[in-house]
A = this chain, B = another copy of it.
Amino acid sequence: MSEIIKGVRQMKGAQSIEFAAPPYILESACVCGSKEGEGPLKDTFDYIEEDSLFGCDTWEEAESALQEKTIDVLLEKSGYKKTDFRYIFAGDLMGQLIATTFGILKFEIPLFGLYGACSTMGEAISLASMTVAGGYANNVIAMASSHYASAEKTFRFPLEYSTQRPYSATWTVTGCGAVVIGNATNKSEKNMIKGKITGITTGKIVDYGCKDSQNMGACMAPAAADVIEQNLIDFGYEPGEYDKIITGDLGYVGQTILIDLLQRKGIEITDNHMDCGIEIFDSEKQDTHAGGSGCGCSATVLCGHILNNIKKGIWKKVLFVPTGALLSPTSFNEGQNVPGIAHAVMIEHPNK
């Protein structure tokens, strides 16, 4: 009870936080399935599992095994023990977060369970950063996962039905990404730093009336536009402030809508926009239509490709904006809209 963080009041603008004592991303781990392991980012993943069931009997258990493997890799890469983490902020797409429940069980880390659809990695990093910067923990884990088969079974049709997919459909990524967020209090931790989290902008639910669960890019783009605009307003930035503005899983359809929506507000991001869903697959060769999606899409691209480029200094400052489509099979079948939500995280090269 003796330390003081100066200038602890960290609110910024209407929806943002600027951290007085920015927390760091100390390590990351990402584990993927075989399809992701054949894509353009294959060299950035820590582990590629060829068995889509991960040695289990069901798709749900497979997703739990994927999470467990990811934390195992994270512990191995970082050198931390499970008891070094005061909290884990984690979630997945399954009803009642069942993949997370059984995925993290053995690690016995106090849990804050989160649901933000495919924006969950943004939500997890936001709360994890607030926790570390607020003096509530030295090191925590933020994690999100998805699995192609468990997600299709949950949200659309079991794969065994061989349903035809429209071109607006995205392909749920089988993947899990996890990061250690910490305050780097000692020298060895300072040497680990991969990136610095300088701020966040937390999204609202945005509903433009879209009802198509096979066109989630269109459902999520308005929420992405809303939170990106708010981030720029809250910090007084032009889009060029960021080397990249990186959305989670809008895909080709959602990207077009996002750029269009922002242009109507006088914001031009064409030159520095990137979407994890577009990057993770070679859509033409891999038949993934509009691109990749799922919590695991932005989480794995962050934990591999994005953090690699930030650590190398190729990108000095990025806005990472995972995007989520808020539907359930029940709400969809009852004719409800599919609103969107997106959470923005500002990640900088540690020495910027």
CB distance from A230 to the nearest CB of B (A): 9
User: Which of A18, A96, A330, A336: most chain B Cβ within 10 A?
Assistant: A96
Report, nearest first, the 10 A-B pairs whose CB atoms are least far apart. A95-B95, A134-B134, A96-B328, A110-B202, A3-B9, A98-B328, A1-B7, A101-B326, A98-B331, A113-B115
Residues on A close to B: CB < 8 A? 1-11, 15, 17-18, 20, 57-58, 60-61, 86-87, 91, 93-98, 101-102, 104-105, 108-117, 123, 126-127, 130-131, 133-138, 154, 202-205, 207, 326-331, 334, 336, 339, 341
In the complex, A146 Cα to B143 Cα: how many Å? Answer: 27
Q: Which of B1, B116, B137 contacts A18 (CB 8 A)?
A: B1
Interface of A is mostly: loop
A94: nearest chain-B partner, CB-CB: B328
For the complex, what is the distance from the CA of A205 to the CA of B3, rounded to whole Å?
31
Q: Report the Cα distance A97→B123, complex, angstroms.
A: 15
A194 to B254, CA, bound (A): 46
Question: Per a CB cutoff under 8 Å, which of B18, B97, B205 touches A115?
Answer: B97
Between-chain CB contacts (< 8 Å), 8 pairs: A10-B134, A11-B136, A15-B110, A94-B328, A95-B329, A110-B203, A112-B127, A113-B115
A205, B329: Cα distance in complex, Å: 27
B136 A17 Cβ-Cβ under 8 A: yes
User: Besides A3-B9, A8-B8, A96-B115, 4 other CB < 8 A contacts?
Assistant: A5-B8, A108-B205, A112-B114, A114-B115
> A144–B111 Cα gap in the complex (Å)?
17
